[in-house]
Structure 1
């Protein structure tokens, strides 16, 4: 099986990870930090807003089962790509909307999608999602990995992550694993 990777910032990585672990064709999801200037940042450092990092999920996927376009369609439904440095009550540069590519083809797919959605005025406001090469990626601490799965009754998970997972299940039923 051939896999590809793409890294996405859609607000808190707990929420984004909670959705993508349930997507058919996604073979691995890792929460982490990217596109900042500090080497090996900690959660506390990233939360300070001074490292330039974004909370992201690094996805490995099988392009024979799911296309990058389908992955990005899910991405644009489960977060608000029109709010700069904010998702819901989470605010700061670490919550910005971003697509961090590893190949020129991925950049082209992302740019084309954003151009088309903007042209169609799909969101009613300008899309602020940044599309940049992945840089300075570092995995988040172990306790952040599979956070929603391990803590489904934690307040933030119930209030924010669970509704995103449910929205994914309803909107993309054909893409839900098993």
Structure 2
């Protein structure tokens, strides 16, 4: 029996993150969208304060929140403020959107593991933000790199597991 849960993260352009997470063991669905901003019904052209994020639906019997965060810290650079690759601005910040105390505890633990590993040159600047409404992005952005296999991404797996 499936034990479906959702996780919300941001780490640069949502296209590349979605493309990598969609094929992770235990991940059942991904959606790209906007989270953590000030306006209702954000769009690609109007999402002040929102990060380009992804909603990950996963089966907790097959993977854990901790394992998802481990991968998150391996596929984007968590040491750059408001930047991934050529993308700059708060839309591209590294953030984990926390839904409960357990997620905060796991996020704090994984960040400490990542920092203690020394694999990244700088300090982790990933913000832990309270979950707010996740607004699904326009259809043209969903599964973008499946539709445009040569499209832009700055995401790739940089290390093996931190765990």
TM-score strictly above 0.5: yes
Q: Tell me the distance in 1 between the aligned counterparts of 2:138 and 2:149.
A: 18
Contact 1:36 1:136 in 2 (8 A): no
Deviation at 1:171, TM superposition (A): 4.5
Pairing of 1:3-152 with structure 2 (within 5 A): 3-46=4-47, 51-152=48-149
**Secondary structure, aligned partner of 1:153:** coil
Number of aligned residue pairs: 160
Deviation at 1:62, TM superposition (A): 0.6
Q: Tell me the distance in 2 between the aligned counterparts of 1:110 and 1:149.
A: 29
Contact 1:13 1:32 in 2 (8 A): yes
Q: Tell me the distance in 2 between the aligned counterparts of 1:20 and 1:117.
A: 19
Contact 1:5 1:102 in 2 (8 A): no
Q: Which runs of 4+ in 1 moved over 3 A?
A: 119-122
Change (3 A) 1:87 1:146: same
Q: Deviations over 1:115-170 (max 9, x none)?
A: 2322343422111001122113211001100101111023x25xx35xx2xx37x9
Contact 2:37 2:49 in 1 (8 A): yes
Across the aligned residues of Structure 1 and Structure 2, the Cα RMSD in angstroms comes to: 1.7
Indicate the residue corresponding to 1:175 in structure 2.
none
Consecutive unaligned residues of structure 2, counting only runs of 5 or more, are: none
Q: Tell me the distance in 1 between the aligned counterparts of 2:37 and 2:133.
A: 6
Consecutive unaligned residues of structure 1, counting only runs of 5 or more, are: 173-178
Higher helix share: 1
Q: Tell me the distance in 2 between the aligned counterparts of 1:116 and 1:74.
A: 13
Q: Deviations over 1:17-54 (max 9, x none)?
A: 000111110011000000001111110113xxxx1000
